[in-house]
Amino acid sequence: MRLRTLPVVCVALLALGGCSSVRLNKAPVQAGQSTPTGAASGAAASSQGAGAVASIQAEPLAAGADGGAAGAAAGPGADVARSVYFGYDSYVVDAKYHPVLSANAQYLSAHPAAHAQLQGNTDARGSREYNLALGQKRADAVMKGLEVLGVAPSQLEAISFGKEKPKAEGSTQADFAENRRVDIDYK
């Protein structure tokens, strides 16, 4: 009798073993909606993220900064920054990066076929799981900021690389600061 139940138990264990324990939410985030990620989700997380983008105002682009005749996949011109940096253990978009969001939002609004991948990154400190969740919160905060400025959610994808894609390889405070960012990558 035991030999007949062994295959059933093995199949059940294999099926459960294929399930992922870390899930990244890739669904578009509507303005004002909180996306829970990781263990730090909840009221505190949503209030921090919501306040981070509430005061963003659109600013006009300089002439020629929209990429000109380059294709929609090229993104805005080289004079438009494509990275937003964050403080240690934070996912609040600092006011000094509002012009970066505004310039990229103007480009995306003017080019409805363009698609931007928002890549959240962290420094090397912390566990892999914590950094993946923090990188996702940073990407979601930038996404919400762009949506507030009029970008269609279908043009945006927020993902997290955590600490797996460093820009600076060292372990100084300047290196850590360089790695705490969201890169806006046009596809």
Burial label for 72, CB within 10 Å (0-12, 13-18, 19+), is middle
Q: What is the pLDDT of residue 120?
A: 98
Range of the domain at 37: 25-186
User: Please, which pLDDT band fits residue 5 given cuts at 50, 70 and 90?
Assistant: low
Which two structure tokens, joined as six digits, stand for 172?
């100084």
pLDDT at 161 over 60: yes
Average pLDDT, the chain: 74
DSSP code of residue 69 = T
Q: CA–CA separation, 150 vs 138, rounded Å? A: 19
Cβ atoms of residues 122 and 134 within 8 Å: yes
The pTM score is: 0.63
> Is the residue at 177 inside a domain?
yes
> Is the residue at 170 inside a domain?
yes
Any residues with CB less than 8 A from the CB of 76 and at least 6 apart, and which?
Answer: 61, 65, 66, 67, 82, 103, 104, 106, 107
Q: pLDDT per residue over 129-152, tens digit each?
A: 999 999 999 999 999 999 999 999
DSSP code of residue 156 = E
Mean pLDDT of 10-31: 41
Q: What is the pLDDT of residue 79?
A: 87
Q: CA–CA separation, 135 vs 115, rounded Å? A: 20
> Is the residue at 159 inside a domain?
yes
> Is the residue at 19 inside a domain?
no
Nearest to 187 by CA among 83, 116, 111: 116
> Is the residue at 11 inside a domain?
no
> Is the residue at 124 inside a domain?
yes
Q: pLDDT per residue over 81-96, tens digit each?
A: 999 999 999 999 999 9
> Is the residue at 157 inside a domain?
yes
Max CA separation in the chain (angstroms) = 79
CATH number at residue 119: 3.30.1330.60
> Is the residue at 7 inside a domain?
no
- Give me the number of domains the chain comprises: 1
